[in-house]
Amino acid sequence: MRLLLISNSTNPGEAYLEYPKHQISEFLGDKTVNALFIPYAAVTFSFDEYEEKVNSRFAEIGHHVTSIHRYINPLEAVGNADAIVVGGGNTWQLVKMLQEKGLMKAIRKKVKKGTPYIGWSAGSNIACPTLRTTNDMPIVEPLKFKTLKLVPFQINPHYLDENPANHGGETREMRINEFIEVNRETYVVGLREGTMLLLEDGDLVLIGNRRARIFRYGEEPRELSSEDDFTFLL
């Protein structure tokens, strides 16, 4: 499998997909790719707008996307895809639509056979076994929580260490500790913004200048950098 799992699309003060675009270009290669784009996580803007927004960035690196909503037969579109790109937004809506359209198994099968997969935020979250480490509000109810299970661990995108002043609610770490308390065999990767995970040739590496925070029940959280080995997660 070849996976590029990105924490977030946009860093403060940057244009959309600015920081990951060169890594996306390297991941897709020199030959122009017309990737299948899945915009289902969009809620407050249209799929047409989402496709245009992503295309404007991909064009800068010599690639192109076509949104799945333009195809009469979405399953056929997945089967014919040269690459699959899943955008961020609301993970619950993304999962619900993929399940209702019967696309989860088709995408998993296609990617398992070697089709490159790129996701950011919600698109990274669904590469995991379930959506249960998303940060998103459950604005809709999917059929189940199971997702693509392209990797055996969970990702928490946009991972934050900060606890705002005068905030009485749980920190991100506290919520993840709740998850590992009842899912004791599962690793969770707190993927900070500006970073991504690359799975290629059986190797898993972190890309970016910030560390990832690794959680597992009964263990102290670990801070790992791009120089560390992440293959133990597999």
Q: Pick the closest to residue 102 from 119, 127, 77, 120 (CA basis).
A: 77
CATH number at residue 145: 3.40.50.880
CA–CA gap between residue 219 and residue 223 (Å, rounded)? 12
Predicted pLDDT at 1: 96
Number of domains in the chain: 1
The residues carrying an active-site annotation are 121, 136, 158
Residue with tokens 């925070």: 213
The structure tokens listed for 156 are 């928490």
Show the domain range for 189.
3-233
Predicted pLDDT at 162: 76
Given a cut of 80, whether residue 165 has pLDDT beyond it is no
pLDDT grade, residue 75 (50/70/90)?
A: very high
The answer to pTM > 0.75 is yes
Predicted pLDDT at 164: 66
Given a cut of 90, whether residue 94 has pLDDT beyond it is yes
Residues 172-226 pLDDT 10s: 999 999 999 999 999 999 999 999 999 999 999 999 999 999 999 999 999 999 9
Q: Is 121 left (phi over 0), alpha (psi -120 to 50) or beta?
A: left
